[in-house]
Amino acid sequence: MERRRFIEVIAGGLLAAPLAAEAQQAAKIPRIGYLAPNLAATPQLPEAFRQGLRDLGYVEGRNVVIEYRDAEGKPERFPALAAELVALKVDVIVASGTPVALAAKHATRTIPIVLLSGADPVGSGLVTSLARPGGNVTGLSNLSHQLVGKCLEQLKQAVPGVSRVAVLWQPGVIGERTEKDILKEADVAARALGVRLQVVEARGPADFDRAFSDMTRARADALTVLTSSMFFFERRRLVDLAAKNRLPAVYPWREFVDAGGLMAYGANIPDMFRRAATYVDKILKGAKPGDLPVEQPTKFELVINLKTAKALGLTIPQSVLGRADELIQ
């Protein structure tokens, strides 16, 4: 009886071992929280992130689970959605943009947060420094807040006769310090280029018509649009209003040019979302977000829509066309 009991115990242990291993493996499937301002408006961005994961061997639904939370264009929902992801105890939160990351950081100081394309991580208070973020946030900065001067320069070179440029911005979304830096840089660049600026604010889409009316009354003859998630989601309407008011415009992202805008100068946002997967991979393998330097883009794209230029009656100088990364016919 004792020998039979011994065999039963051994057999039971051998049977239980694979089951326990399988249960342990299933329990180790990581869960990623994906918090976005508006998924429907930018389907290419989460797909770029998923592609980055696939490149690293992660397949959604097989060896990784992604919990999506969508604010559907309502920034006031960010805190509640971030709290939902924290309650789910996800392994890492990826946050699309600075306001989203700020909401996530307010919701948790322990769950790692990966910023997907932030304007100014240091100035907004997300990280201590780009080299040593500290805390639970790291990710990628698009440096768009530092490119306003370069955008004005590109616009002036493409449309040499420009003398008064309207600057469309959305206050209150990326931090007071960053906003002051952007407007200061725009003013310095304008003085150097010999153009006058007209700063026009739009807190939401309902302000767009009034904003463009203000530009018309002030006799602006060109436009630069500053970085804003809301502007990005409403890019087609902004492009249409610029065309209606016959304003040559430069934008921070190429997606505006794809929608019919004249020109854009900035980082490739989908590529940044794809690269963000490397941060998630490192964190899931044990790296601390505070030890992972914030990545900055090293290449900026100049994209020009020649069809839009023709519609505006513009002849872009060959010197500008020659250095463009892409010309849309």
Confidence at residue 142, expressed as pLDDT on a 0 to 100 scale:
85
Q: Among 231, 144, 126, 135, which Cα is nearest to 185's?
A: 144
pLDDT tens digits, one per residue of 258-304: 999 999 999 999 999 999 999 999 999 999 999 999 999 888 999 99
Contact between residue 327 and residue 301 where contact means Cβ atoms under 8 Å apart:
no
The domain locations on the chain are 28-142+269-291, 145-266+300-328
**Residue 303's pLDDT is what?**
97
Cβ neighbours for 180, distance < 8 A, ≥ 6 positions apart: none
Whole-number pLDDT of residue 151 = 95
CATH match for 145-266+300-328 among 3.60.110.10, 3.30.420.40, 3.40.640.10, 3.40.50.2300: 3.40.50.2300
CA distance 118 to 115: 6
Chain length of the chain? 329
Q: Please report the pLDDT score of residue 65 as a whole number.
A: 97
pLDDT at 229: 85
Sheet bearing 326-328, strands edge to edge = 196-201, 164-169, 222-225, 249-251, 263-266, 301-305, 326-328
Residue type present at position 210: R
pLDDT in tens, the chain (329 residues): 455 554 454 445 555 545 544 444 455 799 999 999 999 988 999 999 999 999 999 999 999 999 999 999 899 999 999 999 999 999 999 999 889 999 999 999 999 999 998 878 998 899 999 999 999 999 999 877 678 999 999 999 999 999 999 999 999 877 778 888 888 889 999 999 999 999 999 999 999 999 999 999 999 999 999 988 889 989 999 999 999 999 999 999 999 999 999 999 999 999 999 999 999 999 999 999 999 999 998 889 999 999 999 999 999 999 999 999 999 98
Fold match, 28-142+269-291 / 145-266+300-328 = yes
3-state secondary structure at position 45? helix
Structure tokens at 11: 């057999």
Alpha helices for the chain (secondary structure H) = 2-27, 44-55, 78-87, 98-107, 148-158, 176-193, 208-217, 229-233, 235-244, 254-258, 269-284, 306-311, 318-323
Q: What is the pLDDT of residue 6?
A: 45
Q: What is the pTM of this model?
A: 0.83
Percentages helix, strand, coil for the chain (3-state, rounded to 5) are: 50, 20, 35
Select 28-142+269-291's CATH number: 3.50.20.10, 3.40.50.2300, 3.30.70.1380, 3.40.50.300: 3.40.50.2300
**29-38 burial, b if ≥16 CB within 10 A, otherwise e?**
ebebbbbbbb
- Distance of alpha carbon 5 from alpha carbon 118, whole angstroms: 64
Determine contact, residues 219/199, Cβ cutoff 8 Å: no
Closest alpha carbon to 251 in 299, 315, 301? 301
